[in-house]
Amino acid sequence: MLRIALISDTHNLLRPEALAFLAGCDQIVHGGDIGGPDILARLEAIAPVSVVRGNNDSAPWAADIPVSLTVMLGGVAVHAVHDIADLQLGPADAEVRVVVSGHSHKPSMVERDGVLFINPGSAGPRRFSLPISVGELVIDDGRVTPRLVTLALPPQ
Say what the pLDDT of residue 24 is.
97
Q: Is residue 17 classed exposed, middle or buried when 0-12, 13-18 and 19+ CB atoms within 10 A define those classes?
A: middle
Work out the number of other CB atoms within 10 angstroms of the CB of residue 112: 8
Distance CA 105, CA 88 (A): 21
**Residue 92: is its pLDDT beyond 90?**
no
Residue 84 domain flag: yes
In this structure, the strands spanning 133-140 and 143-150 are: antiparallel
What letter represents residue 148's amino acid?
Answer: L
What per-residue confidence (pLDDT) applies to 13? 97
Higher-pLDDT residue of 128, 23? 23
pLDDT attached to residue 156: 62
Residue 108 located in a structural domain: yes
The four Cα atoms 9, 133, 111, 52 give a dihedral, to 10 degrees, of: 20
Residue 113 and residue 126: Cα distance in Å, rounded? 32
Closest CA to 76 of 126, 35, 37, 115: 115
- Give per-residue pLDDT as tens, 25-43: 999 999 999 999 999 999 9
Residue 43 lies in a domain: yes
Rounded CA gap, 62 and 64, in Å?
Answer: 6
The number of CA neighbours under 13 Å toward the Cβ of 61 is: 12
In this prediction, residues 56-65 reach a mean pLDDT of 97
The string of pLDDT tens digits covering residues 125-143 is: 998 889 999 999 999 999 9
Q: Residue 156: inside a domain, yes or no?
A: no
Domain enclosing residue 140, as ranges: 2-150
- On whether residue 47 sits in a domain, the answer given is yes
CATH number at 21 reads: 3.60.21.10
Is the pLDDT reported for residue 49 higher than 90? yes
Contact status, residue 70 vs residue 96, Cβ threshold 8 Å: yes
Residue 94 is predicted with a pLDDT of 80
Q: What percent of the chain is predicted at pLDDT more than 90?
A: 88
Say how many domains are in the chain.
Answer: 1
Look up the pTM and report it: 0.96
